[in-house]
Amino acid sequence: MAIFSVYVVNKAGGLIYQLDNQTPRAETEKTFSFPLDLVLKVHDERVLVAFGQRDGIRVGHAVLSINGIDVNGRNTAEGKEVLEHLGNPSNYPLSIRFGRPRLTSNEKLMLASMFHSLFAIGSQLSPEPGSSGIEMLETDTFKLHCFQTLTGVNSLTRT
């Protein structure tokens, strides 16, 4: 069982420490001709696939690079706007790399504080007296383990 990330949250729900174990992301690179048969949209300052799954490219995947040039949010590393670049027929054929977007710092802070709230509610609503709250959340893709210190600091581990 591998550890993907560790979050340390204080008693107030603030994120104290966060570590991501860099695992290789599943990425797909394809060459496209005009017109692009995927529907892309800007969401949270990222260009994401909104419609048109195919060949390992899924809805929610982000545009990571165009012709080997990295994409940062809405723009390429060269400063070109991604949707404008993809809308110009003279730029085709081009190679686009898609993959799952990484969490931003703000998203990591929100996740930590949201889990702290769920943890606090779970420990208060538990029918068992002296419950320590959520110990583990399990999904089909990962398990989230919660370890609480005697001082009330929570450590979340995603495996």
- Mean pLDDT, the chain, rounded, equals 82
Rounded Cα distance between 55 and 96, Å, is 13
**Structurally, what CATH architecture does the domain formed by 5-21+104-158 represent?**
2-Layer Sandwich (3.30)
- In CATH, the number for domain 27-99 is 2.30.42.40
Give per-residue pLDDT as tens, 26-74.
788 888 888 888 889 988 888 899 888 888 888 888 888 888 888 888 8
pTM of the full predicted structure? 0.62
- Rounded to 5 degrees, φ, ψ at 87 are -85, -10
Contact 76, 69 (CB under 8 A): yes
The domain spans of the chain are: 5-21+104-158, 27-99
Query: What integer is the mean pLDDT of 104-131?
Result: 81
Give the CA-trace dihedral at 6, 10, 15, 17, to 10 degrees.
-50
How much is the pLDDT for 94? 92
Give per-residue pLDDT as tens, 9-18.
887 778 888 8
